[in-house]
Structure 1
Amino acid sequence: MTHKLAAGKAFPAITLPLLGGGQADLATPALGHDWKLIVVYRGKHCPLCTSYLKQLEQLREGYSKIGIDIIAVSTDSETRATEQISEVNPSYPVGYGLTLDQARMLGLYISGVRNGMNVEAPFAEPGFFIVNEDGNLQLVDTSNVPFARPDLQSVLNGLTWLRSQTTKFPVNGSHE
């Protein structure tokens, strides 16, 4: 059963293998930054995901300038992820092998093999998460389709403004 992640709460502890070797803790920034962007993409079968990841690469430096690391992950196997990511050639790390249980932990929608071409197994639909310096979710966005995701430039613009403020704003949507 999928559950909704709460804004302002801790991002779940998930570690995944990375293409090219090593592992990454999804919530922990790795390049000396204090925030992290985690993009969950559908996988090799999704040309919209390939385009989205290419755009993310084009904006990577902008996110880095405001102290935000990036990682992209999918439920794909290493082989399938490698094939798709070779078309993107990103400078950010890419994780693979997100399990369906981990995807559910992130509140992601899961689709079956009938929901895409060249799909070998059920897969996670898109997720977009910003984890702040406290390890808490600053921004949470999930979708059940690949064409309804946050605009990467718009998010960068908003985060650039937010990160430039001298007053720390509370996380939106965290009122209990």
Structure 2
Amino acid sequence: MANSIKLTTGSSFPSIEATLAEGSRVNLSKAHSGADWQMLVVYRGKHCPLCIRYLNILEEHQAALKEIGVSVTAVSADSKAQLAESMEKLNISYPIAYGLNEQQMKQLGLYISAPRSAQETDHNFSEPGLFVINDEGTLQAIDISNAPLLRPELSVVVRGLTFVRNQDDYPIRGTVAY
């Protein structure tokens, strides 16, 4: 079994770049569209129908997230061509990137899986992850999973972030020890 790092809340989010669907490079930790916090959603790739569904549900929460100053970017290890195929099934307005490599996956502490067959995909891919980075570049919240069926319910995430953003002194949780 391979060892992996574990990102901790309260620490700086690593500087990781990927390529957006239209071809420009983006720092995945940086908020955009007038927001000061960033939510990064890592998904498995076009081969995962649960991921496509999750990304489409995330679109339904864009107005609420924008209202509290949280931007969203999604990323996977897919190629440009695979992302283009995914876009046919996605109805999203937030940026989506491709090309996350294994070194970056490990840097994020994500679980990595091998494809079951060439029909599934042609590369190793990360399992789901959700990272919330605050206006100081610090990890406010982390959720990683080893399977696509274990993801936080987005309505709960949005309600929780709304609560946190409306507090003057809400602390970053989970910083004592692990």
TM-score band, normalised by shorter chain:
over 0.9
SS at match of 1:168: coil
Match of 2:26 among 9, 14, 24: 24
Shift of the 34–102 alpha-carbon distance from structure 1 to 2, 3 Å rule, reads: same
Where do 4+ consecutive residues of structure 1 move more than 3 Å? none
Aligned to 2:125: 123
Aligned to 1:44: 46
Percent identical residues? 42
TM-score (ref. length: structure 1): 0.95
Correspondences of 1:22-171 after superposition (within 5 Å) = 22-114=24-116, 118-165=120-167, 167-171=168-172
Match of 2:9 among 2, 7, 19: 7
CA distance in 2, matches of 1:66, 1:135: 17
Q: Per-residue deviation at 1:119?
A: 1.5
Structure with the bigger percentage of helix: 1
Q: Per-residue deviation at 1:116?
A: 8.9
Unaligned stretches of 5+ in structure 2?
none
- Give the letter for the 1:81 counterpart: L
**Cα deviations across residues 40-96 of structure 1 (Å, max 9, x unaligned)?**
000011000000000001111111110000000000001101111221131000010
Any conservation in 2 of the 1:37–1:69 contact (CA below 8 Å)?
Answer: yes
Shift of the 94–65 alpha-carbon distance from structure 1 to 2, 3 Å rule, reads: same
How many residues align structurally? 175
Shift of the 110–129 alpha-carbon distance from structure 1 to 2, 3 Å rule, reads: same
Unaligned stretches of 5+ in structure 1?
none
**Cα deviations across residues 137-173 of structure 1 (Å, max 9, x unaligned)?**
00001000001001100000011111112x2222100
Q: Per-residue deviation at 1:25?
A: 0.6
CA distance in 2, matches of 1:80, 1:106: 22
Q: Per-residue deviation at 1:23?
A: 1.5
- Give the letter for the 2:171 counterpart: P
Q: Per-residue deviation at 1:104?
A: 0.6
CA distance in 1, matches of 2:117, 2:144: 17
Shift of the 10–168 alpha-carbon distance from structure 1 to 2, 3 Å rule, reads: same
CA distance in 2, matches of 1:21, 1:86: 17
TM-score (ref. length: structure 2): 0.94
